[in-house]
Structure 1
Amino acid sequence: MTNQPYGGGYGYGGHGSHGAQEPHAPYQQPRSQPQAWPGQGYDNAYDPYADQQHTQQWQGQTWETQMQPPVAAAAPVTPDPVQVSEPAPGSGQVPEPAPVAAGEPEPEYGPATLAGNARITDAQRARAEGRSPIIEPGMQPALLTAVLGLLLAGGAALGTYALLVPLVVLQGVTAAGWFRLNGMWPARQGIALGFLGALAADAAMLVSDRSPGVILGTLGVWVLLSLVLQLRSHADPDERMYGLMATVVAAALAIAAGGYLAADADAVVVGAVAVAAAMVVRALPVGTAASAVLAVAAGVGAGYAVGGMASEGALVGAGAAVCALIGHRVAGYDYPSRFVHFTAGVALPLAAAGPVVYTLGRVLG
């Protein structure tokens, strides 16, 4: 029994009819009969309307016929025997050994890794192999930090507006370095937002006779502004949260560096010189622990010497040196690039010492 809707009812086929026409049918032009496919039977083979039974005919225009371009038949794709499908980076899977065509040399493989996948970052490989993901900036960024610190000290000795020039440079490099340290580049919007927050805090301090309260006020406004901008982003929730934290911290560090502008001139001179001395000593080719101790000692000695051989200068120098070491350590974390070393590695030691220089300068008089 056939499942065709026109099978045998109109004289164009049926079981055993072999396509014979009825006697009362009008004369028709002889036509070639299509060949029946295996398993199809004789119903479709001798039925001239068989091609219409499986093809739906539209009698009007629809939006699809107007909008959709004609689709060409896809050519069969012959798989390439030499291509190897590699797993996604970080998946830990080993790629399959692909078949090699006859007469071709065997593929060469790189050295084995403990992680089992060569497509990982340097920091991930260092953690997998038990090594530290920290690369210290080195002597060249330390020398740049020392130069910028001496410019801050000289500007503070000359006056407020002379201090403002190297301070603005420090704040801009701080914002850019923090974003690059977090792997977000170019991130022009976040860098500009953090830098504008620092400029707004500087302008507010100049208007308010260097009142430190405007630093906290500006920071609160910029946190709210960063939150509003991230809520308008169309990125994934995780990426938006990551961008929000990077923007807030970059603005906070750049604004906190304005502590040099709010501090007394003598405290700025002592603190900036102490940071310069500590960073140069920290970059010496000795052990990490030994160089850290020597750096603090250098900061204490520089503060004591510049501060008029007084204990207050030594305390300011010690606090500035410790904060500078913290910023130096952060700038070397997670296998940073040379660009990070020459931005965050230069600016973070000075920016981290800004609030301490202001606080100790006010407390110690």
Structure 2
Amino acid sequence: MSNDQYYGGQQYDPYANGQQNPADVTQTWEGQTWDTQYQPAVSYDQIQAAQAAQAQPQPQAPVGHGSQADAYPQPYPQPYEQQYASHGGSAAYYAEPVAEPVAEPAAAPAAPPAPAADAGPAYSSPTTSGNTRVTDAQRARAEGRSPIIDPGMQPAALTALLGLLLAGGASLGSYGLLLPLVLLQGLTAAGWFRLNGMWPARQGIALAFLGGLVADAALLAAGREHAAAAILGTLGVWVLLCLVLQLRSHADPDERMYGLMATIASAALTVVATGHLGAAPDAVVVGGIAVAAAVFARALPLPGPVSLVAALLASAGAGIAAGGFTGLGTSGALLGLGAGVCALVGLRAAAYDYPSRFVHMTAGVALPLTAAAPAVYLLGRALA
């Protein structure tokens, strides 16, 4: 007998009442897919949990196609929101989704402590590479202090010694005066460049020092009676030479102008110091002793105005005393006072803008005697 059944002459169809033929059903996957070769690792605790779940009574699945897969236990927790049965069953019996751990936000770095309200301005350490920094003079002005520091007793003692050497060399003659004068010119050239913050400046120092030597040689060749022409002629030539050399420089315009002014000033001071060689010997003796007394009195620990008056009185008194040993007599007081005033001006220039110890031992020693050279030369000729 065939599989077809007839009832009342009609073929019986068991799926005519709306039921679906399993042969005509095509199962489709509506969830996420995964690689079938991947086998997740299952721990021993997960296996025990799965066995305990199997031992519990399972809910009855509703009758119908695909209902036998709804009650399958899960061997391990499911990390996704929904997992689908392998035979198209519902996901209602699967475990609830496991929340993935959320990374904690990184802690913000601690803010640096705020500076105290009463803390002063921070100053950088001095550098030699040309970087911008706060200078000692700027710091002093910011703190309300004066940017002037006098050289002190030790440079004053060296100035007094050099002045006495000039006085002793002048009493011996022009060539006896030449050696301390050359030393004075070398200290002047080096100290002025360092006082202006230009160091090392070997070319500028050598150029200024060479100008002083040329002025000495020109004066010795022309004679003391032509001292003014020799000094002014050398000064004019050296200013022109400095100008030409600085124009050939490849530095920035500002640096070039700054270097030009420092070189011309240093050369001019070094050449002006030759005035000691052109002055009368008695005037050099009085001037050297007066400058020594003035700077020594200025270095004493006295109040400012008192120290200034004491230095001027000391220079005048030393001029009177030295004039008594020479032919100047009491007129030596005027020469001594003029030399003392110029010496204090040079000492003040060497004390400006927080100079270093090197400045005090060069410019602080030489500038008082160099600044006094014009007064010694002019007053010596006038009083003689």
SS of the aligned residue for 1:308 comes to: helix
Matched, 1:358 2:377: yes
Change (3 A) 1:159 1:111: farther
Deviation at 1:308, TM superposition (A): 1.2
In the TM superposition, 1:118-129 aligns within 5 A as: 119-129=133-143
Superposed, 1:19-34 pairs within 5 Å as none
Q: Which among 193, 197, 200 is matched to residue 183 of structure 1?
A: 197
- Aligned-partner SS, 1:342: helix
- Runs of 4+ residues deviating >6 angstroms: 105-111
| 1:169 and 2:183 are equivalent in the alignment | yes
Counterpart residue number, 1:293: 309
Deviation of residue 356 (structure 1)?
A: 0.7
1:334 aligns with 2:353: yes
Aligned amino acid, residue 362 of structure 1: R
Q: 1:149 deviation in Å?
A: 0.3
For residues 1-365 of structure 1, the aligned pairs below 5 Å read 100=110, 112-113=119-120, 115=121, 119-210=133-224, 211-212=226-227, 213-308=229-324, 310-365=329-384
Identity among equivalent pairs (%): 69
| Cα distance in 2, alignment partners of residues 125 and 162 from structure 1 | 46
Taking the aligned partners of 2:213 and 2:291, their CA distance within structure 1 comes to 23
Cα displacement string for residues 256-300 of structure 1 (whole angstroms, at most 9, x for unaligned residues): 011000000000000000000111000000112111110010000
Alpha-carbon shift at residue 305 of structure 1 (Å): 0.5
1:306-338: CA deviation from partner (whole Å, max 9, x where unpaired): 101833100000000000000000000000000
- Following TM superposition, by how much is the alpha carbon of 1:112 offset from its aligned partner in structure 2, in angstroms? 2.4
C-alpha distance in structure 1 between counterparts of 2:322 and 2:246, whole Å: 45
User: For 1:183 and 1:108, how far apart are their aligned partners in 2?
Assistant: 33
Deviation readout 1:69-113 (Å, 9 max, x if unpaired): xxxxxxxxxxxxxxxxxxxxxxxxxxxxx9559xxx969989822
Given the superposition, is the C-alpha separation of residues 308 and 99 from structure 1 closer, same or farther in structure 2, using an over 3 Å criterion?
farther
Per the alignment, do residues 117 and 214 of structure 1 end up closer, same or farther by CA in structure 2, a change over 3 Å counting? same
The alpha carbon displacement at 1:127 in A equals 1.1
C-alpha RMSD of the superposition: 2.0
**Residues 207 and 237 of structure 1: is their aligned pair in 2 closer, same or farther, counting only changes over 3 Å?**
same
TM-score (norm 1): 0.69
| Unmatched segments (≥5 aa) in structure 1 | 1-97
Which of 1 and 2 has greater Rg?
2
Do the aligned partners of residues 200 and 99 (structure 1) sit closer, same or farther apart at CA in structure 2, a change above 3 Å counting? farther
- After superposition, what is the alpha-carbon deviation per residue over 1:121-152, rounded to whole angstroms, capped at 9, x for unaligned? 11101112221100110000000000000000
Give the distance between the partners of 1:136 and 1:308, measured in 2 at CA: 32
Inter-CA distance 225–314: structure 2 relative to 1 (3 Å threshold): same
Partner Cα distance (1:327, 1:162) in 2:
25
For residue 343 of structure 1, give the secondary structure of its aligned residue in structure 2: helix
Give the letter for the 1:260 counterpart.
H
Moved more, 126-135 or 175-184: 126-135
CA drift at 1:116 = 6.1
Structure 2 residue runs without a partner (length 5+): 1-107, 125-132
> 1:208–1:332: structure 2 CA closer, same or farther, 3 Å change rule?
same
Number of residue equivalences: 264
**1:175 to partner: Cα distance:** 0.4
